[in-house]
Structure 1
């Protein structure tokens, strides 16, 4: 049976590509989460030489990271070329001590990077667009060097709970988001150590349902799940959505709740080994002297 929440990566790529030009104007939550993630770097003892921004969007996260870690080289990776084009525009020149960032079009679930090639992986609200969290974390673990840092934020199950309730259950109108405890278990399976996770809730307010949908469209957050309605939803659906959403109106505004899970974890001192394999240890051969 097909998973109705399986994300169509081709549709997702097209949505983010088209949204790139207007993305920054609507990416209010992304900016707030980025600032929170940056503030948490103040307590992290790390001097990375190479940083991967996985799902870089329009590049503001990587720009801030390279200002914070002035000796680091950046790798900007996104599944949408339109987003990478906007990222490139943020780096018209480079300080004499910095190497030009690399811009890579790729999927987080299959990173086109060599094993143990980065010191830090950063990802701001991109992991929720992947189909298999275990695969994502294994890829992050693979490309990180020993004692490397993983730091990401993703969306939890309470995200867009108002929209989910108002839209009904006949189709998947909102993606499936993973609980913090399940993320913690997946980090352990992937071989990360000392994981720290916590949750914050953000609420954006709107005058109308149309404004909610317009903002989601502007950041490329189209419904790309297999269980989405394949045809036009039509006036009837929008009318039901308006009626259902009105029950959440408070102080004249409609809320859109986002549950954000913040994560950081370390790779530890051991080099990466592929799942299901064990490192082979060779013991020195004992030399036996004559007469023993």
Structure 2
């Protein structure tokens, strides 16, 4: 099995590769993030965005908080955000790992993260870091891809290949248990978003372009050839196509965490 550090490096490189164009191609991810920001009711103090990417969502947190820090493992994303928001007051971006946040303990009032922490496996280290940096009474909203994400792709691959070519994501119960073990009071909700694609190549490219194509397991099955892609396209279309379009579901788990006083 791939070492976790190597896997995270691959994820970071994937996101760095697409930093310049990420906001143009990551429409479903931005939609999910914008909706999540609308759920924030806290205001004032210091907020931390884990997996800040291009900074587009991070900048919106400035409407709620006095100071905002974005942290991302992708150096390319951090550089892009620093340049884009160089003139923004009370907003800064730092290169860092969710499992070792470059922030002092008991210093943050609110932690936000959208579609990032699914790459941290297991999640307990990141949750302990969120607990460490939050002030007593502080809260977090973590939006994490769940077990049923990309279920269409997983199901289609399963019909032609016994070895998974899609990342396995956590169940709501597993995330709930890990958050409680970290010491949080937890509320859990779920919501599905669906993106639609003209063909299998467009669908797979949409995953690659947003840096989400790194699979955390080595694949022992057959190589990904043109013939295999044609097989996948046929199965996917037969099982899931609607009005000539292929759906791809993102199952989001919303963890609302509170660090008790």
Q: Which is further off, 206-215 or 228-237?
A: 228-237
Q: TM-score, normalised by structure 2?
A: 0.91
Within 5 Å, give how 1:69-80 maps onto structure 2.
Answer: 69=65, 72-80=66-74
Structure 1 unpaired stretches of 5+: 270-292
Specify whether residues 177 and 21 from structure 1 end up closer, same or farther in structure 2 by C-alpha distance, changes over 3 A only: same
Aligned to 1:185: 177
CA deviation after TM superposition for structure 1 residue 196, in Å? 1.5
Q: Does structure 1 residue 137 correspond to structure 2 residue 131? A: no
Within 5 Å, give how 1:15-164 maps onto structure 2.
Answer: 15-41=14-40, 44=41, 46-69=42-65, 72-94=66-88, 98-99=89-90, 101-164=91-154
CA deviation after TM superposition for structure 1 residue 172, in Å? 3.2
* CA displacement 1:192-228 (0-9 Å, x = unmatched): 12x2211111111111000011111111112231323
Q: Is the 8 A contact 1:167 1:241 kept in 2?
A: yes
Q: Is the 8 A contact 1:119 1:149 kept in 2?
A: yes
Specify whether residues 75 and 128 from structure 1 end up closer, same or farther in structure 2 by C-alpha distance, changes over 3 A only: same
* CA displacement 1:259-292 (0-9 Å, x = unmatched): 11112111011xxxxxxxxxxxxxxxxxxxxxxx
Structure 2 unpaired stretches of 5+: none
Specify whether residues 53 and 231 from structure 1 end up closer, same or farther in structure 2 by C-alpha distance, changes over 3 A only: farther
Q: Does structure 1 residue 265 correspond to structure 2 residue 260? A: no
Separation in 1, partners of 2:209, 2:222: 21
Q: TM-score, normalised by structure 1?
A: 0.82
Q: Does structure 1 residue 196 correspond to structure 2 residue 195? A: no
Alignment: residue pair count: 258
Separation in 2, partners of 1:7, 1:250: 38
Q: CA RMSD in A?
A: 2.1
Q: Does structure 1 residue 240 correspond to structure 2 residue 239? A: no
Specify whether residues 59 and 228 from structure 1 end up closer, same or farther in structure 2 by C-alpha distance, changes over 3 A only: farther
Separation in 2, partners of 1:231, 1:6: 26
Structure 1 segments (4+ residues) deviating >3 Å: 2-7, 169-172, 228-232
Specify whether residues 37 and 176 from structure 1 end up closer, same or farther in structure 2 by C-alpha distance, changes over 3 A only: same
Aligned to 1:213: 204
| Max Rg structure | 1
Separation in 2, partners of 1:75, 1:51: 6
Q: Which has the larger share of helix?
A: 2
Separation in 2, partners of 1:230, 1:130: 25
Q: Is the 8 A contact 2:114 2:143 kept in 1?
A: yes
